[in-house]
């Protein structure tokens, strides 16, 4: 990197402004995830929101990001809270799938009932009298 580019990057980092594709610390943004305010007609995709939340988690000021991106501070805070809840949920999840466990239990019970049914049919098909029923 040339000296002039280094000075420009240092000035951007020091001033807090960013260019498309760079975070304030000069780190490259996620590929294909532009940073900065949206143009008219654009929407906030999950990838763009994720990049903003990561910038918040890295320690950037909520107010600064709000001004830079043109998004209300309460909305940025809500995105951060949703992301943290998602992290908590992901870390709390168990390794096994609940539905798969229920399905396995049901299949086991079906197998037991099928075996019992087959044994009863074999008993009914045998020639001879059936055992007397108790009253």
Q: What's the confidence (pLDDT) of residue 101?
A: 86
Q: What's the confidence (pLDDT) of residue 82?
A: 93
Q: Over the chain, what HEC string results?
A: CCHHHHHHHHHHHHHCCCCCCECCCCCECCCCCCCCCCCCCCCCCHHHHHHHHHHHHCCCCHHHHHHHHCCCHHHHHHHHHHHHHHHHHHHHCCCCCHHHHHHHHHHHHHHHHHHHHHHHHHHHHCCCCCCCCCC
The mean-pLDDT minimum among 5-9, 60-64, 115-119, 120-124 falls in 5-9
Instruction: For residue range 9-54, list pLDDT tens digits in order.
Output: 444 444 444 444 444 444 444 555 556 677 777 788 999 999 999 9
The CA-atom distances, in angstroms, between 8 and each of 5, 14, 27, 55 are 5, 10, 14, 21
- With contact defined as beta carbons under 8 Å apart, do 27 and 44 qualify? no
DSSP-derived 3-state class of residue 93: coil
Instruction: For residue range 40-98, list pLDDT tens digits in order.
Output: 777 889 999 999 999 999 999 999 999 999 999 999 999 999 999 988 888 876 666 77
Q: pTM of this prediction?
A: 0.46
Q: Which of 44, 45, 32, 36 is nearest to 18 (CA)?
A: 36
Say yes or no to pLDDT of 126 above 60: yes
99 pLDDT band (50/70/90 cuts)? confident
Q: What's the confidence (pLDDT) of residue 40?
A: 72
């Amino acid at each position: 990197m040339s000296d002039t580019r280094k000075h420009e990057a240092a000035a951007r980092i020091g001033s807090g402004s960013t260019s498309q594709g760079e975070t304030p610390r000069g780190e490259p943004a996620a590929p294909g995830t532009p940073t900065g305010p949206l143009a008219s007609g654009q929407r906030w995709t999950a990838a763009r929101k994720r990049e903003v939340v990561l910038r918040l988690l890295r320690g950037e000021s909520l107010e600064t990001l709000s001004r830079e991106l043109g998004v209300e501070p309460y909305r940025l805070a809500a995105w951060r809270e949703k992301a943290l809840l998602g992290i908590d949920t992901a870390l709390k999840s168990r390794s096994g799938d609940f539905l798969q466990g229920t399905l396995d239990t049901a299949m086991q019970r079906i197998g037991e009932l099928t075996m019992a049914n087959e044994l009863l049919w074999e008993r009914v098909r045998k020639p001879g009298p059936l055992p007397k029923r108790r009253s």
